[in-house]
């Protein structure tokens, strides 16, 4: 265990610049193209619901369960005051979580803590697994964790680095597309249960304004992440 711990905390060399750029291009293509997006969207849902769950706990709410569905939707249920700042922050956190997690991951990559980043991802997924309340959710979280563990345990440092950059680039870029999907769904099939419409009820501000805020935050975070890694 001591050797494993030293490996996790060790500093890995930054990959060549072309690998970082290639990972960014591949991640962006995975967000823009339909087939890879349908698979990667499950990872985005995990980050989205994880954002709800974390902020619910930080705001003093009682987390009761998380469900992830095969259509890449999800639900996080918590108990507490039905109104107030804590509830607003909990609902708001979902759509900005993937991009924010991507930015935090970039800060770890910039300090060359690649293995630590992968293992931290495994720990977070394991903690989230305790709150999953349906079979597909368990399979989705366990499958994602297995991929990350396999890369971190069985591959050389160069492969770990390429995967870590691809993973973080994907989360950074993947925060933007769901916001457009949210607005399209609101137009096509209005629902009072979307995050934007829940925020509208909680704050009295229009749901479309909250969609715009989601988009602004994610675009700003993505731009900052690109600047930090490439410039």
Report the share of the chain in percent with pLDDT over 70. Answer: 97
Q: What is the pLDDT of residues 67-104, one digit of tens each?
A: 999 999 999 999 999 999 999 999 999 999 999 999 99
Specify burial of residue 89 (Cβ count, 10 A radius: 0-12, 13-18, 19+): middle
Please tell me the predicted confidence (pLDDT) of residue 191: 85
Q: What is the pLDDT of residues 171-187, one digit of tens each?
A: 999 999 999 999 999 99
What does the alpha-carbon distance between residue 151 and residue 68 come to, in Å, rounded to a whole number? Answer: 24
**Mean pLDDT score of the chain:** 94
Q: pTM (2 decimals)?
A: 0.95
In the DSSP assignment, the letter for residue 65 is: E
Please tell me the predicted confidence (pLDDT) of residue 8: 67
Confidence of residue 66 (pLDDT cuts 50, 70, 90): very high
Q: Is the pLDDT of residue 1 over 70?
A: no
**Cβ–Cβ < 8 Å for 50, 58:** no
What does the alpha-carbon distance between residue 94 and residue 82 come to, in Å, rounded to a whole number? Answer: 17
Please tell me the predicted confidence (pLDDT) of residue 169: 97
Q: Is the pLDDT of residue 121 over 80?
A: yes
Confidence of residue 27 (pLDDT cuts 50, 70, 90): very high
Structure tokens belonging to residue 36: 């890879």
CB neighbour list of residue 52: distance below 8 Å, 6 or more residues apart: 66, 76, 78, 90, 91, 93, 94, 97
Question: Which is more confidently placed, 231 or 52?
Answer: 52
């Amino acid at each position: 265990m001591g050797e494993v711990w030293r490996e996790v905390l060790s500093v890995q060399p930054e990959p060549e610049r072309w690998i970082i750029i290639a990972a960014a291009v591949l991640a962006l293509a995975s967000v823009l193209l339909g087939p890879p997006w349908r698979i990667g969207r499950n990872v985005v849902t995990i980050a989205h619901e994880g954002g709800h769950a974390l902020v619910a706990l930080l705001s003093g709410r009682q987390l009761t369960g998380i469900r992830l569905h095969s259509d890449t939707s999800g639900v996080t249920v918590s108990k507490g005051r039905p109104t107030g700042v804590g509830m607003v922050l909990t609902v708001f956190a979902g759509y900005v979580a993937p991009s924010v997690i991507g930015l935090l991951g970039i800060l770890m990559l910039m300090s060359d803590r690649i293995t630590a980043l992968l293992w931290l991802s495994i720990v977070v997924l394991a903690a989230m697994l305790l709150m999953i309340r349906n079979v597909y959710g368990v399979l989705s979280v366990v499958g994602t964790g297995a991929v990350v563990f396999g890369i971190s345990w069985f591959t050389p440092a160069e492969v770990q680095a390429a995967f870590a950059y691809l993973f973080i680039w994907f989360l950074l870029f993947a925060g933007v597309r769901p916001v457009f999907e949210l607005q399209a769904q609101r137009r096509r099939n209005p629902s009072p249960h979307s995050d934007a419409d829940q925020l509208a009820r909680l704050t009295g501000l229009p749901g479309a304004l909250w969609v715009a805020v989601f988009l602004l935050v994610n675009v700003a975070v993505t731009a900052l992440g690109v600047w930090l890694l490439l410039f």
